[in-house]
Chain A
Amino acid sequence: MPHRHNLTTLRDMLRRREISSTELTHHFLERIDRHSDLNAFITVDEEGALAAAQQADKHLARDEHAPLTGVPLAHKDIFCTQGLLTSCGSKMLRNFISPYDATVVERLAKAGSVLVGKTNMDEFAMGSSNETSHFGPVHNPWDLQRVPGGSSGGSAAAVASRLVPGATGTDTGGSIRQPAAFCGLTGLKPSYGRVSRYGMIAFASSLDQGGPLALSAEDAALLLQCMAGFDSRDSTSIARDTADIDEGLKINLHGLRLGLPAEFFDESIDNAVLTRVREALGIFERLGATLVDVALPNSAAGIPCYYVIAPAEASSNLSRFDGVRFGHRSDQASDLLTLYENSRAEGFGEEVKRRILIGTYALSAGYYDAYYLKAQKIRRVIAQDFSKAFEQCDIIVGPTAPTTAFSLGEKTQDPVAMYLNDIFTNTVNLAGLPGLSIPAGLDEAGLPVGLQLIGQFMDEGRLLGAAHRFQQATDWHQLVPKGF
């Protein structure tokens, strides 16, 4: 049962030739096929995966090792893959074959990984439940009647059900961390600029970051090291090596100060979530960390601020889908204006249209100052709150999401209720900080609870190291949903 091992272990087994990449890839492809009811994948590339696995086996036979040689991986369908469908979960791009690879795709391929397929997601990453996908909702492997979270719901469901040992995701307001929490995974949103956005279909460019979804902090660290680094093709890429990540994994929790913002521990949060989070913090304390109270007094303004900035940037980014250069084109168009209007009306789903419309409204003449400019000012206030809190602590901790996974269909008719899922995650994107969600146990219904660790800018190493120590002392991250 090789799928019961985490990615780091599988990598080592491949190196010791206890299993071949071809065997491993076959095994995971067979699992993907058997559990296709989860709807975690939009595209499975059996042929490409087996060819890459064969190639990896040749390298392994000669003891030529890249960091991930022979390890099967999946990409969220937002990352452009040359020659393979990149749909972004949208009807707009249901036939789009990218002419190039995203930097993340290129780097993980160069690291020797084997791409098995592209995972389902909320359309253009706009959603918190994976229910806005043109390709249908994804099911949570812990309870098939529940959502896996979103927008990286396919990646989260695939890793949690052991259809693949690791996957990429993207996080604009919580889209890696919230599905990681709902599916019992370790999911990292890196600091803004750490992972290249080149070839990652843009939603809100000042917030978007790619990152890993994995079974442990150690696995997430290994994946991040392969994904991160300067890229001249991304104008906001930051030149920083990944030495801090290796160093971070060795840290000791003695004297580490964990900051608890009162705003993250209020009565609106599900009781079981609060209990599990407090228990997890108790374990950190026993391992040598100290807990300190901090304040993030303006975090309530995070959601309204985010729901101006993200849609405003989206309305601008998604203007490229015009039915002319790529993507869906309406056949009901007698002139250029109706070609645009009909192609976009037919190609985009309702939530995407709603966000484009709200963003367009916020940027339109007469409203700009009241909405977009006000939101940008709040953004600074929120970033300053974090800076002040970090004067008293090393890592900020709290729940990843206010509840565990909710039922499919429960929030689809109420966009605002859906948005409130991001309440603890989206301020992290506004401030550009790294955020990590790790499993902290189960609620009474047997659903995973996520603990969020928020770090200072470029302090992924310490986040992953703290999580790694916690995971050496606990086994929440090793729980497997029944039937998988």
Chain B
Amino acid sequence: MSISEKDVVRVAHLARIRVAPDELGRYQAGLSDILALVAQMQDCDTDGVEPMAHPQDIALRLREDTVTEADQRSSLQQGAPQVENGLYLVPRVIE
């Protein structure tokens, strides 16, 4: 199992990670090696087996729909790269 450079570009875009043209070959090789390892999954017979998402196989618990947290906006925004008036700043999206 191998992956093409075009696949790397597609996946990198989905993952929102810039991969420079000179890095493509290295990621392509690394990901292909991992996929070759992962291909060994085919040796395991899973016919009729239900997928298991969680080690205890139990439903997540529910809680009362009540307010449990106070407003912490300012403390949570202290680590943000750019904030103004309680809002996160990003490059202009709408002209």
Tell whether A226 is near chain B: CB-to-CB under 8 Å: no
Tell whether A371 is near chain B: CB-to-CB under 8 Å: yes
CB distance A360 to B54 under 8 Å? no
CB distance A430 to B51 under 8 Å? no
Question: For residues 305 through 338 of chain A, which have their beta carbon under 8 Å from a beta carbon of chain B?
Answer: 305, 307-308, 315, 319, 322-329, 333-338
Q: What is the size category of the interface that chain B forms with chain A?
A: 35 or more
Q: How far is the CB of A54 from chain B (nearest CB, A)?
A: 27
Interface size on A, residues (CB 8 A): 74
CB distance B30 to A354 under 8 Å? yes
CB distance A380 to B80 under 8 Å? no
CB distance A364 to B14 under 8 Å? yes
Taking CB as reference atom, which chain A residue is nearest B41?
A: A304
For B38, list chain A residues within 8 Å (CB).
304, 307-308, 358, 362, 371
Taking CB as reference atom, which chain B residue is nearest A376?
A: B51
CB distance B56 to A193 under 8 Å? yes
What sequence of 0s and 1s flags, for each residue 76-91 of chain B, a beta carbon within 8 Å of any chain A beta carbon?
1011111000001011
Number of A-B contacts (CB under 8 A): 172
What sequence of 0s and 1s flags, for each residue 343-370 of chain A, a beta carbon within 8 Å of any chain B beta carbon?
0110010000110111011101000000
Q: Given the known inter-chain contacts A334-B91, A373-B51, A432-B55, please indicate yes or no for A353 contacting B40, CB distance below 8 A.
A: no
CB distance A235 to B41 under 8 Å? no
Tell whether A97 is near chain B: CB-to-CB under 8 Å: yes
CB distance A419 to B55 under 8 Å? no
For A255, list chain B residues within 8 Å (CB).
none
For B88, list chain A residues within 8 Å (CB).
324-325
Q: Given the known inter-chain contacts A99-B79, A206-B53, A358-B34, please indicate yes or no for A342 contacting B27, CB distance below 8 A.
A: no
CB distance B79 to A375 under 8 Å? no
Tell whether A221 is near chain B: CB-to-CB under 8 Å: no
Q: How far is the CB of B32 from chain A (nearest CB, A)?
A: 10
For A335, list chain B residues within 8 Å (CB).
91-93
For B93, list chain A residues within 8 Å (CB).
335-336
CB distance A357 to B27 under 8 Å? yes
For A374, list chain B residues within 8 Å (CB).
41-42, 46
Q: Other than the known A192-B56, A378-B44, what 8 A-B pairs have Cβ atoms closer than 8 Å?
A: A344-B17, A345-B20, A358-B38, A361-B31, A364-B14, A371-B41, A380-B52, A383-B55
